């Protein structure tokens, strides 16, 4: 098994050591200085930062059912482009990922593509309808070994169903990832409720609709002793509720999206549907509270909520537009702009919130490992000193509904390695044949 040997020369680690890394097969075999390059393809990483491959706990790959928006192949290409080596694929496909069959299919598609490890998320309720528990146990014991369950796109609003789901997944160390949105308080809502929504005549999505569900769910999680994860936290009040819950010892984790760390609602003043997203962009004080929450650990991770849509779903009037933004390709740059370049997070913190902790929440042991001999060879080489006007060429999935087009963003992903094989080199995504050629056939 000597086919793929790589030597990454002179990369900087987050602890500021400059090292060579030798990759052999799917492992890192040596980390140090003056590592022997014989038989290996050498990559000069001078000036580049080596990070463990990023892990996204919240991705919409759209397949099966919405292949006009994205497929497992195109979505994982976008992931690789952004430095991700693992993505958790949300369950709101068609059919919904609420059975073992669907999650096994998605997992197999990811394995065949080879760009990233695809971990399917199972639906909490049948058809995301919020009425009856999906076959959580069957999905957990399937080949896809699902550990994260979510009705994302919909809130598990029924408190009894939420309680049962939280309890039930304890049997296999699962976690419920809640899309916290009180449905009655957000009927017809499509932007943050505040002065601007009143002026624009757009139905407001009040912060309390998120915060009240988080408050309820942390109390439920405490009561039944379960693990809860909160998706895409977007308000200052949510950060406060989570801070209180963690101080109380409740087993809750939370994510924030890159866009909620950088963008504010005033972008909506021109009714540009690229900024229509759920939960909506909020006010400046929310953005600052989310950054502070991420810095102090109240918010555990950054997750993209990568939500690709076909062009026509955004090229229309506000009400007719779909919710969501693509985010995989831009996430690391946006995080750098929002919290690294502003001095709130170190690169070691970035590894924690974008790799180590999301892998741990999702119980994905092969990712988020420290770059050391013996670790799985999932890593990304980043040039943090780069700066570029983010453009269509920076996108690698099907969706071009990025809110960052023409914006100047810092940093650039130079190379990505997934299980020892490059998926991105010199900033370019490698062709599908080259990547899938190294794929290990699925077991059993």
Partner 1 sequence: MRHLLSTRNLSRDDAVRILDIAEDMADVATREVKKLPTLRGRTVVNLFFEDSTRTRISFEAAAKRLSADVINFSAKGSSVSKGESLKDTAQTLEAMGADGVVVRHPSSGAPQTLAQSGWIDAGIVNAGDGTHEHPTQALLDAFTIRRRMHGSAARGRDLDGVSVVIVGDILHSRVARSNVWLLTTLGASVTLVAPPTLFPVGMGTWPADVRYDLDAAIDDVRPDVVMMLRIQAERMRAAFFPNSREYARVWGLDDARTARLAPGSIVMHPGPMNRGLEISAAAADSTRSTVREQVANGVSVRMAVLYLLLAGGGEV
433 binds partner 1 (CB under 8 A): no
158 binds partner 1 (CB under 8 A): no
Report the alpha-carbon distance of residue 167 to residue 176 in Å, rounded. 10
Task: Scan residues 371-400 and list those touching partner 1 (CB under 8 A).
Answer: none
Cα angle: 427, vertex 431, 434; to 5 degrees: 115
442 binds partner 1 (CB under 8 A): no
Point out which span in 82-90, 116-124, 296-304, 318-326 binds partner 1 (CB under 8 A).
318-326
172 binds partner 1 (CB under 8 A): no
Task: Scan residues 95-124 and list those touching partner 1 (CB under 8 A).
Answer: none
204 binds partner 1 (CB under 8 A): yes
317 binds partner 1 (CB under 8 A): yes
Beta strand spans in 146-239 (E): 148-149, 175-178, 191-192, 204-205, 228-230
C-beta separation of 321 from 312 below 8 A: no
406 binds partner 1 (CB under 8 A): no
- Minimum gap (Å) between residue 428 Cβ and partner 1: 31
Beta strand spans in 14-112 (E): 18-24, 27-32, 41-44, 49-52, 54-59, 84-89
198 binds partner 1 (CB under 8 A): yes
Among 35, 138, 145, 200, which residue interacts with partner 1 (rule: CB under 8 A)? 200
Residue 379 host element (H or E): strand 379-389
Point out which span in 187-195, 211-219, 368-376, 406-414 binds partner 1 (CB under 8 A).
187-195
Point out which span in 34-42, 232-240, 270-278, 420-428 binds partner 1 (CB under 8 A).
270-278
- Minimum gap (Å) between residue 196 Cβ and partner 1: 7
Beta strand spans in 121-158 (E): 148-149
Annotated active-site residue 305? The verdict is: yes
Closest CA to 79 of 392, 340, 364, 397: 397
Among 138, 196, 292, 439, which residue interacts with partner 1 (rule: CB under 8 A)? 196
Point out which span in 42-50, 159-167, 192-200, 402-410 binds partner 1 (CB under 8 A).
192-200
C-beta separation of 380 from 79 below 8 A: no
Among 1, 2, 201, 441, which residue interacts with partner 1 (rule: CB under 8 A)? 201
Query: Which residue among 173, 305, 383, 426 is the active-site one?
Result: 305
Report the alpha-carbon distance of residue 79 to residue 82 in Å, rounded. 5
323 binds partner 1 (CB under 8 A): no
Residue 348: partners with Cβ closer than 8 Å, 6 or more residues away: 14, 15
Residue 217 host element (H or E): helix 207-224
Question: Tokens at residue 213, please?
Answer: 């569900």
Report the alpha-carbon distance of residue 262 to residue 290 in Å, rounded. 10
- Minimum gap (Å) between residue 313 Cβ and partner 1: 10
202 binds partner 1 (CB under 8 A): yes
Report the alpha-carbon distance of residue 109 to residue 82 in Å, rounded. 20
| Radius of gyration, CA atoms only, the chain | 21
Contact map string, positions 230 to 269, toward partner 1, x by CB under 8 A: ----------------------------------------
Cα angle: 83, vertex 87, 93; to 5 degrees: 135
C-beta separation of 411 from 336 below 8 A: yes
Nearer to partner 1, 165 or 202 (CB): 202
Nearer to partner 1, 42 or 195 (CB): 195
Report the alpha-carbon distance of residue 324 to residue 338 in Å, rounded. 20
Point out which span in 29-37, 111-119, 313-321, 377-385 binds partner 1 (CB under 8 A).
313-321
- Minimum gap (Å) between residue 30 Cβ and partner 1: 56
Residue 10 host element (H or E): strand 5-12
- Minimum gap (Å) between residue 192 Cβ and partner 1: 10
197 binds partner 1 (CB under 8 A): yes
Nearer to partner 1, 171 or 195 (CB): 195
Site residues for partner 1 per CB under 8 A: 193-204, 206, 270-271, 273, 312, 315-320
Write out the catalytic residue numbers.
305
């Amino acid at each position: 098994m000597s086919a793929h040997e790589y030597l990454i020369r002179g990369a900087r680690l987050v602890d500021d050591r400059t090292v060579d890394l030798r990759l052999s097969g799917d492992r890192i075999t040596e980390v140090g200085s003056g590592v022997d390059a014989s038989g290996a393809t050498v990559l000069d990483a001078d000036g580049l930062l080596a990070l463990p491959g990023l892990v996204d706990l919240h991705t919409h790959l759209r397949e099966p059912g919405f292949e006009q928006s994205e497929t497992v192949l195109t979505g994982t290409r976008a992931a690789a482009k952004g430095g991700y080596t693992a993505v958790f694929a949300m369950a709101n496909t068609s059919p919904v990922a609420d059975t073992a069959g669907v999650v096994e299919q998605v997992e197999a598609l990811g394995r065949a593509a080879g760009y990233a490890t695809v971990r399917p998320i199972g639906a909490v309720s049948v058809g995301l309808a919020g009425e009856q528990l999906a076959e959580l146990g069957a999905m957990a014991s399937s080949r896809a070994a699902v550990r994260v369950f979510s009705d994302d796109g919909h809130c598990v609003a029924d408190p009894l169903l939420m309680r049962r789901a939280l309890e039930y997944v304890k049997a296999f160390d699962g976690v419920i990832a809640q899309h916290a949105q009180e449905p009655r308080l957000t009927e017809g809502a499509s932007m943050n409720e505040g002065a601007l929504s009143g002026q624009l005549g757009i139905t407001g999505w009040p912060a309390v609709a998120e915060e009240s569900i988080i408050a309820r769910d942390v109390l439920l999680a405490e009561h039944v002793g379960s693990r809860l994860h909160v998706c895409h936290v977007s308000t200052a009040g949510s950060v406060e509720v989570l801070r209180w819950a963690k101080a109380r010892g409740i087993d809750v984790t939370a994510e924030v999206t890159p866009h909620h760390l950088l963008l504010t609602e005033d972008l909506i003043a021109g009714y540009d549907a690229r900024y229509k997203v759920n939960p909506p962009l909020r006010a400046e004080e929310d953005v600052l509270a989310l950054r502070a929450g991420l810095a102090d650990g109240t918010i555990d991770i950054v997750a993209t909520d990568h939500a690709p849509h076909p062009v026509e779903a955004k090229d229309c009037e506000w009400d007719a537009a779909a919710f969501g933004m693509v985010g995989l390709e831009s996430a690391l740059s946006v995080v750098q702009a929002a919290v690294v370049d502003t001095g709130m997070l170190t690169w070691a913190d970035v590894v924690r919130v974008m790799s180590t902790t999301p892998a741990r929440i999702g119980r994905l042991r092969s990712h988020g490992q420290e770059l050391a001999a013996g670790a799985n060879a999932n890593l990304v080489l980043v040039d943090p000193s780069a700066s570029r006007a983010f453009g269509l060429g920076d996108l690698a999935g099907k969706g071009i509904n990025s809110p960052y087009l023409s914006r100047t963003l810092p940093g650039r992903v130079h190379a990505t390695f997934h299980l020892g094989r490059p998926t991105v080199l010199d900033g370019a995504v490698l062709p599908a044949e080259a990547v899938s050629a190294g794929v290990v056939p699925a077991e059993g």
